[in-house]
Amino acid sequence: MPVEEGVYGLLAEFNTPGAMVHATEQARAAGYRRMECYTPYPVEEAATALDVHHTRVPLLTLMGGLMGLTTAFLMQTWMSAISYPINVAGRPLFSWPAFMIPAYEWTILFAGLSAAFGMLALNGLPQPYHPLFNAPNFRTGATDNKFFLCLEAADPRFELADTRAFLEQFHAVSVVEVDL
Summarize pLDDT for 57-77 with one digit per residue, the tens. 999 999 999 999 999 999 999
Is the pLDDT reported for residue 172 higher than 90? Answer: yes
Neighbours of 168 (CB within 10 A): 13
Summarize pLDDT for 154-169 with one digit per residue, the tens. 999 999 999 999 999 9
Is the pLDDT reported for residue 53 higher than 80? Answer: no
Which ranges constitute the DSSP H helices of the chain? 17-30, 44-50, 57-77, 96-122, 136-141, 160-168
Positions of CATH 3.30.70 in the chain: 7-54+130-179
Is the pLDDT reported for residue 40 higher than 60? Answer: yes
The predicted pLDDT at position 144 comes to 83
The confidence band for 20, taking pLDDT boundaries of 50, 70 and 90, is very high
Residue 60: φ, ψ to 5°: -65, -40
The predicted pLDDT at position 145 comes to 87
Q: Which of 107, 110, 178 is nearest to 139 (CA)?
A: 178
Span of 14-18, 82-86, 87-91 with lowest mean pLDDT: 87-91
The predicted pLDDT at position 4 comes to 54
DSSP, res 93 = S
Assigned CATH class of 7-54+130-179? alpha beta
Average pLDDT, the chain: 91
Which residues have C-beta within 8 Å of that of residue 106, sequence separation ≥ 6? 68, 69, 71, 72
